[in-house]
Structure 1
Amino acid sequence: MKIAFCSLCIVFLGSSLVYADDWPQWLGPKRDGVWREDGILDKFPAGGPKVLWRQPISAGYSGPAIADGRIYVMDRTLANGVKSPANAFATAELAGKERILCLNEKTGKEIWKYDYDCAYRISYPTGPRCTPTVDGDKVYSLGAMGNLTCQKTENGEVLWKKDFQKEYDAKVPLWGFAAHPLIDGDLLICLAGGSQNRLVVAFDKSTGKEVWTALDCPGDFGYSPPMIYSVAGHRQLIIWHGQKIVGLDPKTGESFWSLNFPLKMALNVPAVRKVDEDKLFITAFYNGAKLLKVAPTGRSVEVVWEGKGKSEMPDKTDTLQSIMPTPAVKDGFIYGVCSYGQLRCLDAKNGARVWESMQATRGRQTPKKVSSQEGPDGSERWDNAFIIEHQSRYFLFNEQGELIIAELSPKGYREIDRAVILEPTNNLARHPVIWVHPAFANKNMYIRNDREIVAVSLAK
């Protein structure tokens, strides 16, 4: 019995990413968009949830990571005299610095920061995209131009770093590096974007030494983060880049299977989601959705169904064509936000649309600026809400800074409550937005815009 007990302890303690109530990486402890804490409120108090603190921050799309009483987040400051372009698609060089900030979780006060010169030559040049990844006493961050940094959580000391452009001959994607790094055992797995079979690189997480490399992708390689699932009984690293979706051996980078899926503008921000034991779901803004089935051998894949809509226009999409938020999957149904803000429920078996609602992304029902990006029903291109499952309901954070509690089921969308948490400040879209994934930890929510980061209590 003592041996069995010790073995069990090793199993649970050996996975340093799984903290009871922390949020140490993008999409949470298990990288699945599920918040598992108890004692969370059912509705908001009058006037909205209690604000615990607010602290200034600079610009960026990087969400916060929470671990061991500290918050880690990235932002960007412009060089003196440099201004953000009025045209979001402009890619002129903008001098400035990227920063990694470590804050006190209880107060928001700065513990340490680290910055480095980083000129941007990307579209939507607000700031870094990736959420830091915390593993034990180390934090890993990836900037928008391909600067990977490993630091001590205690004091920010840099242990090792990589420059994907210089060291891997990487071509920076149009919208910058956005695929959140993934810890797997002793490895840190990244989409480095390199040439000569170095699209994906696995580093020794302690030393930065290259362990294996894999794949090539001509042109932009995309934005979807690496994910590891057990599919059809086989543990596989799923890489979805601008030309293919591929299953690899996480330990060696060996390719098990691949499926051609060339994407317009390599636009594939959402993560691949697992559906059932042997199926994977993908959704792309321009190219639509597919459900894939991995063979029992783990060595091949087939398409179960795919969306017929090949245009992102709202009257021409049939399944799901997501721009940013990763869909939620529950009990054989998929819940995601389509190209013009349509929150949709799909039957995972066949891709049939069960229902659609605009309620979550319409925000406070205030008039929006009329633009050429408006859909025929008044919806707007790229309207979105990030979706987090919590027990029998969901928290949705929309781009207008509202947090929504709702039930999502095959029966429909049922809103329980909503509250304004933070004002949208990013003006590079068709109206001010917050395009940042929140973190949920220790009965609180943490979210930032381009001016401040805020903590609010969601305790019952």
Structure 2
Amino acid sequence: MKHHSRLLLLLAAVSATVSAGANDWPTFRGADRTDISPETGLLKQWPTDGPKRLWLNEDAGLGYAGYAIVDGVLYTLGARDAVEYVIAIDAATGKEKWSAEAGALLTNGWGDGPRSTPTVDAGKVYALSGKGNLVCVNAADGKELWRASMTALGGKVPGWGYCESPLVVGNLVVATPGGAQGTLAAFDKNSGAKVWQTEGWTDGAQYASAIAVDHNGAKQIIQLTMQSIAGVDAKDGKVLWRTDFPGKTAVIPTPIFHEGQVFVAAGYGVGCKSVKIGPGNTVEEAYASTDMVNHHGGVILHQGHLYGYSDKGGWTCMDFKTGAVKWQEKGALKKGAIHFADGMFYLLEEKTGVVALIEASPEAWKEKARFTLSPQTTQRNPKGMIWTHPVVSGGKLFLRDQELLFCFDVKGK
């Protein structure tokens, strides 16, 4: 019996470890880049003045960077004076643990500073500065382990800076320098040595973050540029398939993949396109339309439907397979970012800081609660808005407005 009890305790401990890890948010849009949080047991309503604020950190640095949350620590990027830093913050208290230099300040007419989200993997943090410095630091103390430059690989800093979040695939970390030496590049995640760079695909970098999928017998990395959607083999960077996607001005949202079908969207009137990647990596268009003109707030696939804000029709729900519009809502909430947790969407209106909680329903817009983020920064560029995406992790909702980093309790008792 003693042995049996010990076994049960061991299994319980393993189970607790697994579930704790399952609630982590290790990179932009989560571990699988779907922006679907694994959290459960969250509040379905909020008090009229919003969920309880647990803490506010007023020195997270300037910029629009997102956050990764792993083992109770939040990792982000922020600019202080003329330097961009990787910053680690205790997710329970909001107190800073350490900061490490990422690179010189990106200056921009819509606001200076970093735009990307760090990626955390196996005790290391990978972060990309606005000017394209990819740094790897220890998660525990911020000690720098290696760095690489996107411009040294032939890349040109895009107009709004490098914005993508690094992608860890097995022993590689992948980024998008863009340019004549190859659109994508992969590095050994431990040493920083370059392993490959795509030959024959030389589009410049845009602002989307790549995804990794298993399809047609290979680990494929799917990325979006101003000219193309393409899948490359993670093993050697060989281009497996490519299809035209003519963007305008800036191409930003993360590609979405499900059962051999890829969906991408962009703003500036471009709209969306979906393709099926068949046997032998043949590409067949499923649909293309302007029903989802998604600028940079993101699109989420949930139970066969796509949800996001369209510059044309407002908040939109579409059938993933066919592109058919299920509903649109323009009056209740203006343009912004979207995040999913426990059957609900957390929507952030970029101009006002209003946060709305709606049911993830293909039937209609079903709003349950809202509040306005307060206080808001006085340091934001007049052209800038609240562009950092919401994240729910560990029963907490994290929001950011430049140097102000907020943590709210969305689990309750």
Q: Normalising by structure 2, what TM-score?
A: 0.89
Provide the residue aligned with 2:75 in structure 1: 72
Alpha-carbon distance, 1:209 to partner = 0.8
| 1:217–1:241 Cα contact (<8 Å) kept | no
Provide the residue aligned with 1:141 in structure 2: 127
Selected match of 1:335 from 271, 294, 307:
307
Give the match's secondary structure for 2:195: strand
| 1:325–1:387 Cα contact (<8 Å) kept | yes
Identity fraction in percent: 30
| 1:293–1:303 Cα contact (<8 Å) kept | yes
Comparing 173-182 with 185-194, greater Cα deviation is found at: 185-194
Greater percentage in strand:
2
| 1:178–1:224 Cα contact (<8 Å) kept | yes
Alpha-carbon distance, 1:433 to partner = 2.3
| 2:179–2:205 Cα contact (<8 Å) kept | no
The structure-2 alpha-carbon separation of the partners of 1:320 and 1:244, relative to structure 1 and needing over 3 Å to count, comes to: same
Provide the residue aligned with 2:193 in structure 1: 209
Q: Normalising by structure 1, what TM-score?
A: 0.80
Give the match's secondary structure for 1:246: strand
Provide the residue aligned with 2:47 in structure 1: 45
The question of 1:455 aligning with 2:386 is answered no
Q: Tell me the number of residue pairs that the alignment of Structure 1 and Structure 2 aligns.
A: 396
Provide the residue aligned with 1:34 in structure 2: 36
Alpha-carbon distance, 1:233 to partner = 6.3
The structure-2 alpha-carbon separation of the partners of 1:218 and 1:234, relative to structure 1 and needing over 3 Å to count, comes to: closer
Give the match's secondary structure for 2:360: strand
Alpha-carbon distance, 1:427 to partner = 4.6
| 2:78–2:403 Cα contact (<8 Å) kept | no
Q: Which whole-Å CA distance do the structure 1 matches of 2:332 and 2:385 have between them?
A: 14
The structure-2 alpha-carbon separation of the partners of 1:215 and 1:387, relative to structure 1 and needing over 3 Å to count, comes to: farther
Selected match of 2:157 from 172, 179, 200:
172
Q: Which whole-Å CA distance do the structure 2 matches of 1:398 and 1:413 have between them?
A: 15
Q: Which whole-Å CA distance do the structure 2 matches of 1:129 and 1:213 have between them?
A: 23
The question of 1:251 aligning with 2:223 is answered no
Q: How big is each residue's C-alpha offset from its partner over 1:416-450, in whole Å with a ceiling of 9 and x where there is no partner?
A: 111223444475465x6210012221100122212
Comparing 222-231 with 121-130, greater Cα deviation is found at: 121-130
Selected match of 2:225 from 222, 241, 254:
241
> Which residues of structure 2 form unaligned runs of 5+?
1-10
Alpha-carbon distance, 1:452 to partner = 1.4
Give the match's secondary structure for 1:19: helix
The structure-2 alpha-carbon separation of the partners of 1:17 and 1:245, relative to structure 1 and needing over 3 Å to count, comes to: farther
The question of 1:301 aligning with 2:286 is answered no
Provide the residue aligned with 2:324 in structure 1: 352
Q: Which whole-Å CA distance do the structure 2 matches of 1:412 and 1:221 have between them?
A: 37
Q: How big is each residue's C-alpha offset from its partner over 1:35-61, in whole Å with a ceiling of 9 and x where there is no partner?
A: 112221121134321111111222111
The question of 1:394 aligning with 2:380 is answered no
> Which residues of structure 1 form unaligned runs of 5+?
1-8, 79-95, 308-317, 363-382
The structure-2 alpha-carbon separation of the partners of 1:22 and 1:119, relative to structure 1 and needing over 3 Å to count, comes to: closer
Q: Which whole-Å CA distance do the structure 2 matches of 1:424 and 1:300 have between them?
A: 49
Provide the residue aligned with 2:147 in structure 1: 161
1:32-431 map, 5 Å? 32-57=34-59, 58-78=61-81, 96-115=82-101, 118-165=104-151, 167-197=152-182, 199-215=183-199, 220-231=204-215, 234-265=218-249, 267-275=250-258, 277-286=259-268, 287-297=270-280, 299-307=281-289, 318-339=290-311, 342-359=314-331, 361-362=333-334, 383-384=335-336, 386-399=337-350, 400-425=352-377, 427-428=380-381
